[in-house]
Structure formats: structure tokens, C-alpha cells
Structure 1
């Protein structure tokens, strides 16, 4: 059982357009609406792989009700913590060449009582889960220390924690020693307060975050691949991708693949890379099923290309 926590969930509306022109009336060639938010995307990918999952999130208004309904349609047990404000709606515009334009709403403000109810909802289910994935930005009303409190409480119940967040929330949570953190290159650079120009720079940043409390670091380097840095060493994984259709939720799919494959070692890294590669070839934030995965296209190695420049240097 993998439980996910999404403090700032969303309804994700995706429009595919023949082109994007400012000031014009545009007609979509296709559109869809999906339950969104990083933790919810992880649950969707876990469910798509045939594993049980529970999604805990604050839900409010008709948007929150629709999100819970959509989760049920994905065979995900939704644990919605009622809030007064409405759940946000995010919009993604996709052009034929794969270019994405995203408009993310700021989301509702959470009261302290609602924040405590969210912690309680996780706590009551912690002992029955193998992993708890805590994902995404914190909404207004939650202090940066909120994830740290969640990690501490969940560890006391015996659960393992995977954390995918950034900034002050990540920094505060490191002291509670999350089992896995999943930054991208930009978040790695931000966490160590220096630019990253090469894969070797990313490895050094990941090692520093381990020294500061992270058990393992699963780092997404975008088109360059993924790194896993843990107590056994450093591993590098990459995959062949023929066509990129949408990268929305690809990192969340990667984390789901990593956790469902055990959450440690090169086999789990290979699963993470395969899930991420499959996700970018699907529309919107569609999560891959086992039929979409191509493990034969994945390469993992301990021979990390330290001198390779990052395609998009992180600053």
C-alpha cells in the first residue's frame, strides 16, 4: 500500500491546440480533465500499475467533489479532508511540437484546524502503509515546517517517507530524515544554493543533501536522465524517448515507479526511468500502465557521466 499526501491538489484541465497566439480566439483539438497535484499523480500512476493506493488531500467546493469522483474512477481510495475554500483548477496548453504553457492557480488558504485534520488523516493510516509519498508545494496557511511535522509523525508510526517538495519546506524536512527525496535539477540547485552545470555537480549536490538528512536522493535531470544517490553508491539511469507529447506528471510517474519497485537500488531506478519515459509520450497528465513501459529502452549504470553538461543547467 502506498499512501500519498497532496496538500495543494487541483483539477488539471489540458487543451491541445494547433498553435498558441496571444490575443486570439483559439479552438482546442482535444481537451481532458484529470485529478491533479503531485501526490495525486503518484497515486494515479501507482493505481495504473495495479497497486493499491490511498490519496489524502484537502478538498473543498464542487471542484473538490469532482476531484474525489475522478479519483474513484481511477480506483484510488480518496481521503478528502474537508476545507472551506475551493480546490484549485490548473490549465495546460499543449502545442503540436510538445511545447507546454501552464497556468497554475495559487490554490486555497488552509486554516490551522484544517492543517491539523490533514495530519491526523495521514497519522491514522500510517501504520498500514509501506510508503507515504508527500508531494508538492504547500498551500497558503501551512508553514514550511508542516512537512517536517508530517515526516516525524509518520516515522513514529513506522512508515517510510518519500518527499517531493522544494525550497524552505524541503530544507525544514531534512532534519527529520525522510527516507527518499525527489528533487529535479532546479530544486537541487536551490537546495545547495549554487548552480549545477554538469551531472557531476548534481551528484555532489545530492551527496550534500544526504549529509543533511536525506536517506536517498532520486534526482530527475530532465532529458539527461535520473540519478540515485544512496548509502550503497551512485547510479545513473536514462532511456530512449522517441516523441515527447507532454511532460506533465512525468516526475510523479517516476516516483511511483521507484516506490512500486521497492524504493531502493538500481532496479527501482530503472523502474523510475521507465515510468518517466512512458509518461512524457502520453497526452496531458495521463499516467502510464504496464503496457506503456519499455524497460528494454532503459540503461542504468554506476559509471556516472560526471563531466556531461546538463542540457538545461540549473541555477
Structure 2
């Protein structure tokens, strides 16, 4: 039986993406276009999975006051909605997409205020997940929740037998990675900066990144995937460390590429792909996402073509 896919988003957001010919700091900027999308890491992951043909059930905490865009997305993509509703507004994140440079500037506002009782209610709603389930714990924590919130959810899901992927940063990531071995996630996906923050040192070269990822993998995490932007992504597992890359892609928007990478890893897990093929598919998801504004992927045929073009390079063992 194929694994059922689930995402958990504690800090969802409305992403306001403003497209500019060129961003001029300190000046008046005329937008070419603006688009509002329901987002947050887990929501983005579920949306991309739906475009691949494998919709995930969405769990998490959602503000009632501006929930309509999320509900419209869930309905349009047939995503089973198990989000708990809280009083108040979800945060708004402003994304300034500079077409000339290909860079995106993010302005992220504070999230919905949550409480320990909300976390306990969410944990209770996840109690039925088990060995046939694949769960992505994705994103930051809203104000009011302690740094170990994701660590606690990860520990619970592992006890229940679920396969868990964690994509977070800062104290929330550090707390989850400090869990006992049996409660560690099966896969983590930091980017370079997040891995450096966890390690407490700069990682200037691919070799240093690979060695750090392998150190983390040896602590009990089966797969460590580090997203590296234009360089691709690095996988450390029991077979060693490999870098997957594609020729540079001209992006329409870089927003959500890391979330698409996570969606690719989830899809690969459901399809029972090998480590190498999982990495190929994940990098193809991320590259394809560059052509879309909002939490969407292009046609699956493009993703399959890109996956076939991914180049794998074995890196020196630590």
C-alpha cells in the first residue's frame, strides 16, 4: 500500500508576491503584477503534491479571520482540510520578485498568536496517523509556541510509526535534532544557512557542507538533504554524499522552490524511489517551481524531463 501523505503547518501565511522589472531600494517602484496566494511551507508542499497528482491532507493551525484563500486553495486542489481554526488573522508575507536580477526579497510579518492548548489539540488530531503515513512538519513556529513544539510532534509521530520529514530552522530545528535517536525525523531538509546555524560555524565549501550533513546523518537521521539554490541539492545517507544539479534555470520567481523540493522528496517516498532517484525528482520539482508564481508546479511531463537531466556527483566521504 502506498503511503498516505500529510503536511503540518503551524504558521501559515498569505504570500503577496509583487513582480518588478527591477527593485530600486529607496525609490518608487512600479509593480508589473501582484498575486496573493495561500502559503506557509506545509501548505505549499501539499499544493505542489496535488499538481503532481498526489494530494496530501493538510493539518495545522489556521486563523479564521482571513482563512478564505486557504479554503479556496484546498477546495480547488482537493486537499483534505484538517486544519484547526483559531481566532485571528494569518500573517502576510511580502515577496518582491526582481525580474532583472532573478532575486526575491522577502518581508515576513509576525504570525498568528497560538497557545499550548492549540498545540495539544493539534497533537490529538494527529493521533490517528501511523505506519502507512508520510508526514512533513514544515515551517516556522507562530508566536506563543515553545521552541520544542515541532520536536514534540515529531516524537509523537515517530512513536505512532509514521515516516517524518522535517523542514524548519533556528531553535525549532535545533530542538527537533536534539531528540533521542528513536524520536528523530527520518529526513531533514535545511538550506545552507540553516545548516550553518545549527552547526554553529560557516560551511564555505561543498565538502564542508557534505561532512556536516554526514555528521548529522550518523546521529540517526536516515536522509539529510541540503538545498543549495542554483547549485542544486546535496543528499547524505547511508550510501554517502551526492550533489544533484541542473543547468541554471531562469526563474520567474524563486519563492517556494525549497517547499517544492520537499514535495519532491515526499512524492519520491510515496513512490518508493531510491536515494538517487529521490534526489533527482526533488531537484526537478524545485527547478520546475521556478517557472510558476504561487504554490504551483507546471505539467508533470516537464518535471519528468528535468529529473532525467539531473546530474549526480559523488562527494568525498567525511
SS of the aligned residue for 1:196 comes to coil
2:117 is the alignment partner of 1:113: yes
Give the Cα separation in 1 of the matches to 2:82 and 2:302: 28
Match of 2:54 among 51, 56, 60: 51
Give the Cα separation in 2 of the matches to 1:256 and 1:23: 37
Give the Cα separation in 1 of the matches to 2:164 and 2:133: 9
Give the Cα separation in 2 of the matches to 1:305 and 1:283: 37
Give the Cα separation in 1 of the matches to 2:27 and 2:202: 38
Give the Cα separation in 2 of the matches to 1:193 and 1:23: 34
SS of the aligned residue for 1:281 comes to coil
Task: Report the Cα offset of residue 267 of structure 1.
Answer: 0.6
Give the Cα separation in 1 of the matches to 2:296 and 2:34: 12
8 Å CA contact 1:258–1:264 kept in 2: the answer is: no
Give 1:72-87 correspondences, 5 Å limit.
72-87=75-90
SS of the aligned residue for 2:66 comes to helix
Deviations 1:57-78 (A, max 9, x none): 2111331233122222122112
Judged with a 3 Å threshold, the aligned counterparts in structure 2 of structure 1 residues 133 and 289 are, in CA distance, closer, same or farther, namely farther
> Normalized against structure 2, the TM-score is what?
0.89
Task: Report the Cα offset of residue 240 of structure 1.
Answer: 1.7
Note the residue ranges of structure 2 that are not aligned, 5 or more in a row. Answer: none
SS of the aligned residue for 1:201 comes to helix
Judged with a 3 Å threshold, the aligned counterparts in structure 2 of structure 1 residues 25 and 129 are, in CA distance, closer, same or farther, namely farther
2:290 is the alignment partner of 1:280: yes
Task: Report the Cα offset of residue 128 of structure 1.
Answer: 7.2
Match of 2:236 among 229, 248, 262: 229
Give the Cα separation in 1 of the matches to 2:294 and 2:266: 23
Match of 1:10 among 5, 10, 13: 13
Corresponding residue of 2:207: 200
Give the Cα separation in 2 of the matches to 1:129 and 1:32: 37
2:299 is the alignment partner of 1:295: no
8 Å CA contact 2:133–2:162 kept in 1: the answer is: yes
Corresponding residue of 1:64: 67
Match of 1:164 among 152, 167, 179: 167
Match of 2:126 among 122, 126, 140: 122
Judged with a 3 Å threshold, the aligned counterparts in structure 2 of structure 1 residues 284 and 241 are, in CA distance, closer, same or farther, namely farther
2:221 is the alignment partner of 1:209: no
8 Å CA contact 2:184–2:220 kept in 1: the answer is: yes
Task: Report the Cα offset of residue 85 of structure 1.
Answer: 2.4
SS of the aligned residue for 2:279 comes to helix
Task: Report the Cα offset of residue 213 of structure 1.
Answer: 3.5
Give the Cα separation in 1 of the matches to 2:248 and 2:23: 25
Corresponding residue of 1:260: 267
Give the Cα separation in 1 of the matches to 2:198 and 2:217: 12
Task: Report the Cα offset of residue 161 of structure 1.
Answer: 0.2
SS of the aligned residue for 2:65 comes to helix
> Normalized against structure 1, the TM-score is what?
0.90
Give the Cα separation in 2 of the matches to 1:284 and 1:92: 11
SS of the aligned residue for 1:62 comes to coil
Give the Cα separation in 2 of the matches to 1:242 and 1:170: 29
Give the Cα separation in 2 of the matches to 1:104 and 1:258: 26
Count of residues in correspondence between the two structures = 304
The CA RMSD measured in Å over matched residues stands at 1.9
Give the Cα separation in 2 of the matches to 1:53 and 1:129: 13
Deviations 1:152-194 (A, max 9, x none): 1111221100000122211221222110000100111111111
Deviates more, 1:243-252 or 1:289-298: 289-298
Task: Report the Cα offset of residue 52 of structure 1.
Answer: 2.7
